[in-house]
Amino acid sequence: MISHSRGPDRTVRRHDLVVVCPLAWRAQIEAREDVANDPLVASWIDRQWPLVGRRSFVGEGEGVALGLPLPPVAGKRRLSFLMQHADIVSVTRPPPLSWAGQAAPAGWCPTLERICDLASRYGFDARVFGSLAWHALTGLDYLTDRSDLDFLFHVSGDLDLLRLHSALAKIEADAPMRLDGELVREDGGAANWREFGCGARDVLVKSIDGVGLLPQSQFILGSSPS
């Protein structure tokens, strides 16, 4: 597993990796007919593989909302779980792009290097989620010919969003995959990088608590959607 672990009292954000107690996991699996007989799901935590933070559903109840995206060979199902805070063993940020990139197809490497260089120039913390992250974390075949590169840039300060959009667009033009990245503020609010090049006044900001529109000029300042 990767480092950068935080204590279980840390607030879980979207894309965070969460390891839960094996006993609580087994109890949850045994109570669900849809996964009770699935050996991969049953052994997930025993293999020390994490779940992922997600937004809770309306009326879902109290607890920590987590997901488990299965690989294509297992039907590419997106399973949802609600665990209690006492069940959380550790909370970890998504893996660094430089680390996960070691598991990427050879054809992806030039694009990953360009994105890492861009992040370094801007002083971003670059991380990855989605298919590449799960492939690197588990060794299972998550990547296909149609997989996107899902990355996260943790941003702050005085940022020229249009200039950043232009730089990413140039990288994508030469890339063998679609770039589906998010810019993430210190409070966890995130917007897709494409939002800043389409000419729209507002951007769609996502967080663990919900989704809302926010003027582009206010996104980097940390304002919340109305």
Catalytic (active-site) positions: 148, 150
Name the strand (E) or helix (H) holding 170. helix 161-173
Residue 81 CB coordination number (10 Å): 22
Residue 183, helix vs strand vs coil: strand
User: Residue 66: CA atoms inside 13 Å, Cβ hemisphere, count?
Assistant: 24
Distances (CA, A) of 36 to 42, 43, 65, 70, 80: 7, 11, 19, 15, 14
Place of tokens 């879980």: 12
Distances (CA, A) of 20 to 69, 72, 106, 171, 225: 16, 24, 33, 37, 31
Q: What is the 3-state secondary structure (H, E, C) of 6-54?
A: ECCCCCCCCCCEEEECHHHHHHHHHCCCCCCCCHHHHCCCCCCCCEEEC
Residue 86 CB coordination number (10 Å): 10
User: 37, 19, 130: which is closest to 83 by C-alpha?
Assistant: 19
Query: How far apart are alpha carbons 220 and 153 in whole angstroms?
Result: 12
